[in-house]
Amino acid sequence: MKPTRFALMYHKVFQFYLNISMLFLKWRGAKIGAKTSIGKINCEWPNQLIIGENCTIQNDVDFRFWTPFKKDAGIKIGNNVFIGHACEFVANSKIEIGNDCLIASKTTFNTTGHEYSKSIKIKDQPITTKEIIIEEDVWVGTSCVILQGVTIGKGAVVAAGSVVNKSIPAYEVWAGVPAKFIKNRV
C-alpha cells in the first residue's frame, strides 16, 4: 500500500522539525556526531550530553541531569548505538554507553539511590550516586532497569524486564528481578 500525499508531506515536515531540534541541542552544548538521528527527546541540560556517530535515538527518550554543572555527571554515548523509544537516563554521576550497543525501549538507567537506615525518616536519607558503564557490543532488552554502580561487560546480553543491581561480566546472558546469570553467550 502506498503512503498518501499527506503522509509523505507530514514525514518531510517532521524530519525538518527534528533537524532543527538537533541544531538547537548542539547550540545549547550537546556534542552530536555525524550521521546520528535523534527523535523528539527531552534534555534540559544538553551541555552534559555526548552522542557519537551513526547513532539512532528514538522518540520520547529522557536525559535528566540532577547536577548539570558537575564535571563527572554526564552521559556519553559511543558510535553505532541504538536507543529505543521512551528510555530514561537519570545522571547524577557518569553514564557511559560503549560502541555498537542496542538499548531497547523503556529501559531506565539511574545513577542515584538513597540510604535506608531505620534511625532516619526515609525522606531525609542521604542520596547515593555511582556511575553506570555499559561496555561495547551490549544488548539490553525492553523495559530493563540498570541501577547505580553497575558495569555491563563487553558483549553481554540483558533479557527484557530485568533489574540489574550488580555488574555483569563480558559475554554473559543475564535475566530476572534481580538479574542473575543464565548462560554464556555463544
List, for residues 122-167, the tens digit of each pLDDT value. 889 998 999 999 999 999 999 999 999 999 999 999 999 999 999 9
CA distance 69 to 116: 27
pLDDT for 93: 93
Torsion sign, CA atoms 131, 41, 46, 38: positive
Per-residue pLDDT band for 169 (boundaries 50, 70, 90) equals very high
- Would you name the residues annotated as active-site residues? 114
Number of Cα atoms under 13 Å in the Cβ half of residue 172: 13
User: Quick check: 97 pLDDT over 80?
Assistant: yes
Q: What is the CA radius of gyration of the chain?
A: 18
pLDDT for 179: 98
Nearest to 140 by CA among 186, 95, 184, 109: 109
User: Quick check: 71 pLDDT over 80?
Assistant: no
**What are the beta bridge partners of residue 82?**
56, 102
Topology (CATH) of 5-184: UDP N-Acetylglucosamine Acyltransferase; domain 1 (2.160.10)
CA distance 35 to 122: 46
List, for residues 34-61, the tens digit of each pLDDT value. 999 999 999 999 999 999 999 999 999 9
CA distance 152 to 158: 9
List, for residues 101-125, the tens digit of each pLDDT value. 999 999 999 999 989 889 999 889 9
pTM: 0.90
Per-residue pLDDT band for 19 (boundaries 50, 70, 90) equals confident
For the chain, the domains span: 5-184
Sequence-distant (6+) residues with CB within 8 A of 8 are none
CA distance 74 to 97: 11
